[in-house]
Chain A
Amino acid sequence: MTLKHKAAITGVGELKPARGPEGKTALGVLAEVSRLAMLDAGLTPRDIDGLLVGPPMAETGQMWPSILAEYLQLRPDYANVVDLGGASACGMVWRAAAAIDAGLCRTVLCVSGDVFDVESFYQPRGGRPARLPWREFESPFGPMGVNSGYALIAMRHMYEYGTTARQLAKVAADQRTNANANPDALFGDRPLTVDDVLNSPLVCDPLHLYEIVLPCTGGAAFVVTAPEQARESPQPPVWLLGAGEHASHMLIAQAPSLTTSPIAVSAAKAFEMAGVGPKDVDLVSVYDCYTVTVVVTLEDAGFCPKGRGGPFVEEHDLTYKGDLPLNTHGGQLSFGQPGLAGGASHVTEAVRQLQGRAGDRQVRNCEMAFVNGNGGIMSEEVSLVLGRQS
């Protein structure tokens, strides 16, 4: 089965991330970005017959598709929650395309967003018991959320391959240069050098504070539609050329490997479907909850050999002006992580770049992008190849 050219993204809507809740509700954010995406695609709620929603973390809720459909008066023939953590948005792209290709629906609204309130975010969720393996076999030892999981990955990567703290810091610094050209980025107004990263406090070794993503309030939505509809869209359609997914674990101690992620499988599938390789892409837009995530992703997706990710990011200019533009919106490290919409930001940025709507940070002649969504602790991966040409 192929999903190549079976659907296209025709509109995006995204909020500028904010540090606090700003009086918003999770439902309010989802509705706001849905409206922006529909307007961008030149559509009304009557045109939407599919709905995929990423469940917000800030507020408990079940049946999010029904909640949002009611609010927006959508009448979808296909509706689902997609809960793949940070891979949810990329997962929505191919799930929408597959549903469209199967004839279940024609135009799918894909939405995620969250409200960040520092007062409640770190509170244990009370009430019902969570008798899950991580609660029983990990929490008693004091992990620092997922931070410590990625620290374990980084430490092992340094041990096996000699990756240095300076190489990891380069990812954050280059992405900040990108953010400085993005008025919507949370940290777009201030510079960040490699030394700034290395001089920031160690949070869990070897990760420094500025190598760790900041949760925030925001949201993102996009419209995936069938080829006939896409060709009539007011914006240039961005075509799905390839997709691949692979998952392996939830607890980091259960990961088959700390240094090779499921991206080795998901990216190979995506490139094979698209009939292209890493050398063919003009933009890399990949999940960056931590600096090390980017290094492992570049290796597993085949941009460089396994273990060479450190030297690779040092040798290449990852800015929008560089030889390998990567996370041109700033990445989540500089743009912010509005819940599951953080993963969506890699999709929306790729769409804007491929449509030529990326403003000051526009990559010249951007024809094809590699996008990766990463859930958990490199647990669940979805890789996409998106392109301008049909």
Chain B
Amino acid sequence: MTAPREAPAAREEYGKPLPQPTDVSQPFWEGARAGELRIQRCRDCRQHVFYPRSMCPLCLSERLEWVTASGRGKVYSYTVIRRAMHPGFQADLPYVLAIVELEEGPRLTTNIMAAEPEDVSIDMAVEAVFEDVTPEVTLVKFRPSEAK
């Protein structure tokens, strides 16, 4: 599932918004770095939780554990961005911004790395790829699943 890694840009060359991990979210970003999509699960109500939180928003338990998600999901919705609001994305136009629903349930915002935006459709099966965008940060993106 891990994409071939290109040499990541230095932080100052990257030119796009970067996450500022928090104490709570750090395991997610470490997982991405290691090529794993890590999400939280509540030990009390068993619900999966994303984005990372300090407590379960369903039962308020603080007993959240980190689990490695399958990385498989489907496109819940997507759009083709044709104008960049942040100049850092200008060279990527057009690109696909999507909400992916993970097999485990939670949804997340991501990019679909398809050859052409026209290749993307709602409910299409996708799998996680891990893009090292700087020496410190790896983003979890998705691509059309190879297994049909």
> Could you list which residues of chain A lie within 8 angstroms of chain B, going by C-beta atoms?
122, 124, 129, 131, 133, 135-145, 147-148, 151-153, 155-156, 159, 201-207, 251-254, 258
Contact A205 B122 (CB under 8 A): no
Q: A142-B86, A143-B81, A148-B97 known; 17 other A-B pairs, CB under 8 Å? A: A131-B22, A135-B17, A136-B21, A139-B19, A140-B17, A140-B139, A142-B97, A143-B85, A144-B97, A151-B79, A152-B97, A155-B79, A159-B123, A202-B82, A204-B80, A253-B108, A258-B76
> Could you list which residues of chain B lie within 8 angstroms of chain A, going by C-beta atoms?
16-22, 25, 51, 76-86, 88-89, 92, 95, 97-99, 107-111, 117, 122-123, 133, 137, 139, 141
Q: How far is the CA of A137 from the CA of B95 in the complex (A)?
A: 17
Q: How far is the CA of A370 from the CA of B86 in the complex (A)?
A: 37
Contact B81 A204 (CB under 8 A): yes
Contact B79 A204 (CB under 8 A): yes
Contact A136 B51 (CB under 8 A): yes
Contact A205 B80 (CB under 8 A): yes
How many pairs, one residue from A and one from B, have CB atoms within 8 Å of each other in the complex? 108
Contact A152 B20 (CB under 8 A): no
- What residue in chain B is nearest A130 (Cβ atoms)? B20
Residues of B within 8 A of A156 (CB): 76-77, 122
- What residue in chain A is nearest B107 (Cβ atoms)? A253
**Contacting residue for B19 out of A137, A148, A203, CB 8 A:** A137
Contact A142 B79 (CB under 8 A): no
- Give the one of A135, A136, A252 with max B CB within 10 A: A136
Contact A142 B77 (CB under 8 A): no
Contact A152 B79 (CB under 8 A): yes
Residues of A within 8 A of B83 (CB): 144, 203-204
6 A-B pairs whose Cβ atoms sit less than 8 Å apart in the complex: A136-B22, A140-B137, A142-B92, A148-B79, A159-B123, A204-B82
Q: How far is the CA of A159 from the CA of B81 in the complex (A)?
A: 18
Residues of A within 8 A of B89 (CB): 142
Evaluate whether A136 and B25 lie within 8 angstroms (CB atoms) in the complex, with A142-B92, A203-B83 already known: yes
- Give the one of A139, A201, A207 with max B CB within 10 A: A139
* Min distance, Cβ B7 to any Cβ of chain A, angstroms: 19
